[in-house]
Structure 1
């Protein structure tokens, strides 16, 4: 099963507490139907390898999930790098029970929390494409000197499902993360040596197994979980040391934010979510598959692993908050949550080819609804441009939303203002209808026809009336 991930990054203009949004897709969402894998009967040697490593992975899964550090030491090879060993210890610590009862606040913490509990957490050997990936001769010699009789580098998948502070926590389908590991055999037993990158040519390994490695929230130290009831069931807020205040705000704001999005979108969505509050740029970048620093002015991102079209569900959807979000007031954070939850609610109806003026403008409209005054207060860069005679001639193109361009702020604000104009003029019901119709994507003629079908007016007139509304709002 190939997984895809889409990140929607929401920059925030801290000076005006104006959360903006940019959503980019690196793939077309696809169904969870299994890959067709050509298989042949394993020979006895290969079967022994597979069975031995499978038994080890079962032990490793249970040991990590139970937070058993002492048991973990018995499964890791003595030749493993200290960084790899420490990495596994971090995972075990994040799942380990702590002395305080669940639901009790640690001293000086603003939020009740406990260790993360998962409904499912299991490593397994994954199909390998291409030739076997070999270790460097000198490293093999080192393992053999310690008594190893075989080594194996193989793709490994991790199937997991959250979870939260308490069981069963968030009700979600199984998520599959992809990676690779190196193993060594000693007699009848196997031990894990390290990541698959120990092999001499990890680039070649990535070509043989093109599934990109993913990162779980438990892979950074200091993770905790707190649950909150929302209208769709239990939602969970995961957070790291340093993000306790942010997690406390999210826990307080989330139920109302879910209800407010439902008031716009309707009840046909999950109405529960996992939110992750990060404390460092490294955590945010890893969890959203972005580069550190790319979103220095960002507030949040939504990510998902894949869309199961047959089951009608999104797999592995998360709202990830950046460290910068810790500086937001409760009011501004509520805007960000409503914006991101609108992405969650609309995910199944949004094609990758849908225009960004729609997929960012409408969530921002829902996020900011009831919080803004006039256009000048809500969209200062756009208002200044209009006041100076530079009225947008058309809806912003996708390229103008790049966070690296000077025109990006005006593009975000233009998208919000168009949604606000449609909502005010035609009503929220027709605005949602426009989102669903235009959100199916297609060529320009198709999306223009979808707008006319939803609003009853040609796109050219709607845009012209919006431009006139902008000038009126700034007194031009």
Structure 2
């Protein structure tokens, strides 16, 4: 997308795939467009057929399974302690003699890289998921008494940002010699769909900027940028709370990776695009309980330098609006609603006029008359031309501005809560949700919006 003077933060449809969703921001103007991210679950597609090996595939009796699980959990607990405390001596004792080349050194680097991260929790847990099968070649090479790849997750929390711990997958392979279990690999299970999640600390030393409203994490080379984001975080949290209300944790974790490979590891390959400004991601969303774990705002290092102070402010407030509203938002909420709503909060009290913030809408109104419908989700796709995507986001923002200007901000929030809770609603369902809030049909409201745009952009 071409560079512009004013930003437009873009959010794609919130798509929940397994445990992670991402509301992705893209800037008009001096930055980019984007969508939502997800990760696929375990798959054996394309994996070669496995031959039976007594050590891996023979299921032990229940008592032996329990004993194995207990012994392995003890190893995982030691691993967690060694990494979190940067105890290189303890860490060195936990690897099998046949461990992957480079695995012990990578874990030592991770432990050192984590030293300045304010952690409230760090652990590894065995889950109840189906047990992935170890590559027979690995089993044969090790020649151990037993080889196992239990379903494991990293459990962690950032102190000052996370109200509860979140979890991320770990594809670990372990070997037993005699009675002792040790670590072999955290990459050998990749080919079977159980890849180890990589965080900032897997790419280099991490430093933190801690403020009362959260934590900003990144690498020493980005220290000046981290300072700017940390300075903006407090006012951004206050601005979102002023609009949304106090019903969210009012703290956030902001990540700033150093390069695109790192961004891709954090947010997924579909969203580490050059024109993305920032991405908000979340793990473990329970909308019935109103809880969300692992929310992160991740900035794109490739576009950060193009953000003006206004752009940076808008992006962060936009993303934090998604953080605040996540538990109340269906994974299939209309993109025009989610995007326009977050843009409204991002631009609120910024002094940006409708004509300056929505020049494409102004051009359409002048040349073809006012719009008579809201953008459909496909108009926000990254495969759509840049001009059409730009127009879709501007229309969404202008509709939110219209609702707030003519009905008040309480009505705008009311419409959001009524419609955002609906999964992929039809026009009739949106109409049924809007009428009790505004006392007018969606069709009449759209006509009024068009007339209002003509007057406001005249």
Q: Is 1:361 aligned to residue 340 of structure 2? A: yes
Contact 2:123 2:154 in 1 (8 A): yes
CA distance in 2, matches of 1:63, 1:304: 27
CA distance in 2, matches of 1:439, 1:292: 23
CA distance in 1, matches of 2:39, 2:445: 31
TM-aligned CA deviation for residue 191 of structure 1 = 1.6
TM-aligned CA deviation for residue 461 of structure 1 = 2.0
- Residue 168 (structure 2) aligned to one of 172, 177, 192: 177
Contact 2:37 2:270 in 1 (8 A): no
CA distance in 1, matches of 2:33, 2:318: 9
CA distance in 1, matches of 2:305, 2:34: 18
Partner of 2:188: 198
Partner of 1:452: 435
Partner of 1:92: 111
CA distance in 2, matches of 1:468, 1:83: 65
- Residue 411 (structure 1) aligned to one of 392, 409, 430: 392
- Residue 299 (structure 1) aligned to one of 277, 280, 287: 277
Change beyond 3 A, Cα 1:178–1:373: closer
Contact 2:198 2:265 in 1 (8 A): yes
Structure 1 residues 387-424: Cα deviation after superposition (integer angstroms, max 9, x where no partner) = 33264331000110112211111101110111111111
TM-aligned CA deviation for residue 360 of structure 1 = 0.5
Structure 1 residue matching 2:90: 3-state secondary structure: helix
Contact 2:122 2:155 in 1 (8 A): yes
Q: How does 1:117-196 map to 2 (within 5 A)?
A: 117-129=118-130, 133-137=133-137, 139-144=138-143, 148-163=144-159, 169-195=160-186
Q: Which runs of 5+ in 2 are unaligned?
A: 1-16, 41-58
Partner of 1:99: none
Alpha-carbon RMSD across the aligned residues, in angstroms, is 2.6
Structure 1 residue matching 2:333: 3-state secondary structure: coil
Contact 2:110 2:201 in 1 (8 A): yes
TM-aligned CA deviation for residue 59 of structure 1 = 0.9
TM-aligned CA deviation for residue 376 of structure 1 = 3.2
- Residue 99 (structure 2) aligned to one of 65, 73, 80: 80
Structure 1 residue matching 2:221: 3-state secondary structure: coil
TM-score, with structure 1 as normaliser: 0.81
Partner of 1:36: none
- Residue 313 (structure 1) aligned to one of 291, 294, 311: 291
TM-aligned CA deviation for residue 373 of structure 1 = 3.7
CA distance in 1, matches of 2:427, 2:102: 51
Partner of 1:472: 455
Contact 2:414 2:437 in 1 (8 A): yes
Partner of 1:402: 381
Contact 2:24 2:271 in 1 (8 A): no
CA distance in 2, matches of 1:443, 1:26: 27
Q: Which runs of 5+ in 1 are unaligned?
A: 28-39, 97-114, 164-168
- Residue 378 (structure 1) aligned to one of 340, 357, 371: 357
Q: Is 1:219 aligned to residue 199 of structure 2? A: no
Structure 1 residue matching 2:77: 3-state secondary structure: helix
Change beyond 3 A, Cα 1:419–1:25: farther
TM-aligned CA deviation for residue 361 of structure 1 = 0.2
CA distance in 1, matches of 2:369, 2:185: 58
Contact 2:318 2:343 in 1 (8 A): yes
Partner of 2:50: none
Change beyond 3 A, Cα 1:344–1:292: closer
Contact 2:208 2:217 in 1 (8 A): yes
Structure 1 residues 325-358: Cα deviation after superposition (integer angstroms, max 9, x where no partner) = 2431222111111111111111121112321111
TM-aligned CA deviation for residue 44 of structure 1 = 5.1
Q: List 4+ stretches of structure 1 deviating above 6 A.
A: 24-27
Query: How many residues in Structure 1 have an aligned counterpart in Structure 2?
Result: 419
Structure 1 residues 150-196: Cα deviation after superposition (integer angstroms, max 9, x where no partner) = 22222212222222xxxxx334212122232111223332221102x
